[in-house]
Structures are given as C-alpha cells and as structure tokens.
Structure 1
Amino acid sequence: MDLEQARTNLTGASTDITLVALRILGKNGKLNDLQSVLALVKSTNPSIRNASIQASSGLIKENLINHYHDLDHSVREKLGQLLHSLDPSVVNEISNDLYSDIEERRVRAVQILGLLKKHPQLREILAKLIHSKDVKIRATAVCLLGRIIGPNDHDLILSLLNDKDLRVRANTIEALESINNKRIVPILLRFRKDHNNRIRGNVLKALYNLGFTEIEPDLTEMLKSTNHLMQASAIWVMSKIKYSSNSIEDLIAFCLLSDHEVVTSNAKKTLRHIHTPRAEGYLKYLEVQ
C-alpha cells in the first residue's frame, strides 16, 4: 500500500487495512493528513484508537524533523503541544533519534524536545545532552535548557562557558541571560574582552539586560575595531537593547561608509531601530533609506 492508497483506505471497512494505512501515514504522511488521522483517535475500536495515536505522534515527529525550519514558530509550538498531549511517551521515540547516523536528524530531535516544555523528563534529558560529544547537540540543548530552568539553576550550565566550541559558549551566554539571575553578572564580566565577536556581543547584550548598563566603553571599542565582525556585532547589540547615546549613534553612522556588507546592513537596520532624530538624520543625509 502506498501513501495515496493509505489515504483512501484510512476509513475502510476492514480493521486490518485501516491499521496498515495508519502505519504508513504515521511514517510518511504530511501535515495535511493529520486531521484525518486524528479523527480516528475517537474510534470505539481500541486497536484503531491506539494506532491512530501512534500514527499522529509519528506523523508530527517526522514532519517536524524533516520540515522544522519551513514551519512557522507558532505552528511548531502547537504541534509540540499536540504531540505531548497525544502521547507523553513519545519523548522516548524522539530520544532514539538523538543517536541517528544523520546529523541533521539528531539536531532536529533536540529541537523537538524543546517544544515539549511541560514534559516532566525534559529537564533531565537536556541536562544530559549538554554533555554530548556532538557539538551541535550541546549547543542546541543548552539554548533550550536556558528556557526551562529557574533563575537559581545556573550551575547546570555554567561549565559550558569554557566549552571548546564557540557556538556552545555563545548559546550558554544566551541561556544564562534567559534565566534572568543578576548574580551571574560578575561571571559574565570576565568575557567582555573575549577575542570572538559573537561572544562579546552576546555578553554585552546579556549584561545590559541583567542590569549592568555600563557597556558604552565596550561598544565603542568594538565599533572602532578594524575587525569588521566586531563592528557588526556591536551594531547588532544596539539593535537588541534600549540604549541611547549620541557618540554610539555617530560611530554606527560612520559604519555606513564601510565596504563590508554585513557592517553596512547592520548599521542601516540599527539606526532605523534606534529611531532618534539623530539616527534618522544620518539615514536621510547619507541616502540609505
């Protein structure tokens, strides 16, 4: 039975045929098939009802893995909620994908786990994944863990600030910002002069949002750097915080003359974000609107 036949035979008279159709749709079905599969969850036949739950969970999981970034955030969130309500034990199946030979599938599995925010096992699973040998899994897991742990649970992820991988360290800073514990400010201050632009940018944004507002000297240093990526990151920080400074606006405006595309693009976006008369004036007179 192929996929089209499965769709046709889903409500057939034979229980055996319906079960086969459900197995096929659970593995290969599209999101458009979900409503039809879900309808059988209310079946009075226990075999069909259980198969429908498994098929619905499988269909959602496979579509999230294969089309995660093609789906809107709100759609992913709703599918995650539905997945959890249908079958909480699906977390075990998702965990199996963490050991897939396909790297993308492993990373997607972690992202899907992040959608199951209310699952009682989620924290424990993510806490283990941040020690995975797979760099991408560590980076993804720490980001997700930061969204669900409490402000006093920062010890779970602090060690990752010294991870060998840049992405893991950068995501750890974002995670620490997410838990909103001002006691970690002294720890983050150590990374203000990091050699990597993304680390420095994330640290300054986190510090500011955690109440440490004396970041202008650091932004100035980055904006005056000959390293284009340092400039771009400093400009990015200004687009993410509510901070006003004439001297910083002047430096960002000067970056409009850069020959580096990322720098000029960030400068335009950030001056629009700042939206002060000074910023608007630069955009107008330099004709970059």
Structure 2
Amino acid sequence: MNLELARKNLSSENPDLVAQSLRLFSAYGKLGDLQCIMTLFKHPSPDVKRAAVETTTQLIRENLISHFNELDLGVRQKLGILLQSLDPQVIDELSKDLFCETEDRRLRAVQILGLLHRNPRVKVILARLVQDKNVKVRATAVNLLGKVIGQNDHDVILWLLNDADKRVRANTIEALESTGNKRLVPILLRFRKDQNNRIRGNVIKALYTLGFVDVEHDILDMLNNSSELMKASALWVISQIKLKKKSLEDASGAYLLAEMRW
C-alpha cells in the first residue's frame, strides 16, 4: 500500500483498513497529513482512536528528528506541545533515539528534549547527557539545560567551563547566563581574555546581562585584535547588548570602513 492509497483509506468505513493505513503514516507520513489523521481521534472505533494517537505521535517525532533545522521555530514549538499532550510517555520513546548509535538522530533527539521542557524528566536526562562522550551531544545538552534549571542549580553545569572542547565551554557560558544568577559574575570574569572568539564574546555578553556593565574596554580589545573572527565577535556583542559608547562606535565604524575598502 502506498501513501496515496493510505490517505484515501482513512475515510473508509472499515476500521481494520483505517488502522492498517495509519501504520504506514507512522513511518512515511508528512506533517501535512496530521490534520486528516487527527480527525480520527473522535472515531467510533477505540482501535482506530488509539492507532491515530500513536501514529500522530510517531509521525511528529520522526519528522522533528529528520527535519528539525528545516522547520520554523514556531512550528517546532507547536509540535512539541502537541507531542507532550498526546503521549505522556514521549520521553521513553525519545530515549530510543537519545541513546542510539547514529549521531545525527541523537542530536535531533536532544533538541526535541528542549521542546518538552515542561516535562520534569527533561532536566534529569539533560544532566546525564552533559556527561556524554560525544562532544556535540554535550554541547547541545548544556545549552538546553541552562534554559530549564533554576538560578541556584548552576553547579550542574559549572564544571563544564573546564571542558576540553571549546564549543562545550562556549555553550556553558550561554547556559550560565540563562540562569540569571548574578553571583556567577566573579567566575565568568576569569574568561574575559579567552583566546577563543566565541567564548570571549559569550562571556562579555553574559557579564553585561548579569549586571557587570563595565565591558567597553573588553570589546575595544576584541575590535583591536588581529583576528578577524575576534573582531566579528565584538560586533556581535555590540549588536546583542546595545551598548552606546562613542569609542565603540568609532572603532567598529573604522573596522567596517576598512572592510568595505578591502
């Protein structure tokens, strides 16, 4: 049976045929099929109702994993809400992908966890994943964990500031900023002169967000650095914190003008 025939069979009066057709959508269905499948939630047959819910859950999960970055943020968030409302055991199902052997599926599954932040188990699983051997998994997990932990739970991720991978360290700084804990400022000050442009930019932005506003000279140092990446990160910081200083306007303007001439 192909998908086109399966779509026609969804309106069949034969419950067995409808249920059989729904199983095909679980593996190959598109997000555009959701509307007609969800109409079956009110089907008189309990078997069809159950199959429709299971199919919707699997179809959403599979499409999020396969096309996560292609979907608009608003669409992803709505699908996450729908996924949680349909399947209380969605975390158990997602665990099959979180700990599978395929890196891409693992990363997408971690990202889906971020859409399920209302589930109390998400924080526990992310705390486990920040210890994963896979660098990309660690970096993604710590970024999401910062959005679900409380102000005083920063110890869960603080140790990752010493991670061997610069991506993990950069994401850890973003995560610590997300907690809104101003007591982290003295710790973050140690990274103001980091040689990695992204880490340095993230630190300055985090410091400013957490109340340490004396960052003008730090940004100027980045703008005067010989590294083009460091200069670019400085411009990014200025755009993020909206700091209005003549020295920064002059330095960034001079850099951009030089780039135009080049």
Is the structural similarity TM-score above 0.5? yes
Aligned-residue CA RMSD in angstroms? 1.3
Letter of the structure 2 residue corresponding to residue 26 of structure 1: S
Give the deviation of 1:44 after TM superposition: 2.7
Q: How does 1:126-141 map to 2 (within 5 A)?
A: 126-141=126-141
Q: How does 1:109-128 map to 2 (within 5 A)?
A: 109-128=109-128
What does residue 273 of structure 1 align with? none
Give the deviation of 1:20 after TM superposition: 1.5
Give the deviation of 1:15 after TM superposition: 2.1
Letter of the structure 2 residue corresponding to residue 15 of structure 1: P
TM, length-normalised to structure 2: 0.96
Please state whether the residue corresponding to 1:148 is helix, strand or coil: coil
Taking the aligned partners of 1:24 and 1:90, their CA distance within structure 2 comes to 20
Q: How does 1:87-102 map to 2 (within 5 A)?
A: 87-102=87-102
Deviations 1:138-172 (A, max 9, x none): 11111111111111110110011111111111111
Letter of the structure 2 residue corresponding to residue 98 of structure 1: L
Letter of the structure 2 residue corresponding to residue 141 of structure 1: A
Give the deviation of 1:130 after TM superposition: 0.8
Structure 1 stretch displaced more, 123-132 or 11-20: 11-20
Taking the aligned partners of 2:67 and 2:31, their CA distance within structure 1 comes to 10
Taking the aligned partners of 2:227 and 2:242, their CA distance within structure 1 comes to 25
Give the deviation of 1:63 after TM superposition: 1.1
* 2:44 counterpart of 1:49: no
Please state whether the residue corresponding to 1:44 is helix, strand or coil: coil
Aligned length: 261
Please state whether the residue corresponding to 1:152 is helix, strand or coil: helix
Please state whether the residue corresponding to 2:16 is helix, strand or coil: helix
- Flag as ranges the 4+ runs of structure 1 deviating above 4 A: none
What does residue 197 of structure 2 align with? 197
What does residue 278 of structure 1 align with? none
Taking the aligned partners of 1:52 and 1:208, their CA distance within structure 2 comes to 49
Q: 5+ unaligned residues in a row in structure 2: which ranges?
A: none
Give the deviation of 1:71 after TM superposition: 1.3
Letter of the structure 2 residue corresponding to residue 204 of structure 1: I
* 2:58 counterpart of 1:58: yes
Deviations 1:180-210 (A, max 9, x none): 0000001100111111010000000000010
Taking the aligned partners of 2:11 and 2:134, their CA distance within structure 1 comes to 43
Taking the aligned partners of 2:63 and 2:205, their CA distance within structure 1 comes to 34
Give the deviation of 1:136 after TM superposition: 1.0
Identity, in percent, stands at 56
* 2:122 counterpart of 1:147: no
Please state whether the residue corresponding to 2:24 is helix, strand or coil: helix
* 2:72 counterpart of 1:72: yes
Taking the aligned partners of 2:258 and 2:127, their CA distance within structure 1 comes to 43
Letter of the structure 1 residue corresponding to residue 114 of structure 2: G
Give the deviation of 1:127 after TM superposition: 0.9
* 2:207 counterpart of 1:207: yes
* 2:64 counterpart of 1:37: no
Taking the aligned partners of 1:3 and 1:120, their CA distance within structure 2 comes to 37
What does residue 280 of structure 1 align with? none
Taking the aligned partners of 1:2 and 1:165, their CA distance within structure 2 comes to 46
Taking the aligned partners of 2:208 and 2:172, their CA distance within structure 1 comes to 16
Q: 5+ unaligned residues in a row in structure 1: which ranges?
A: 265-285
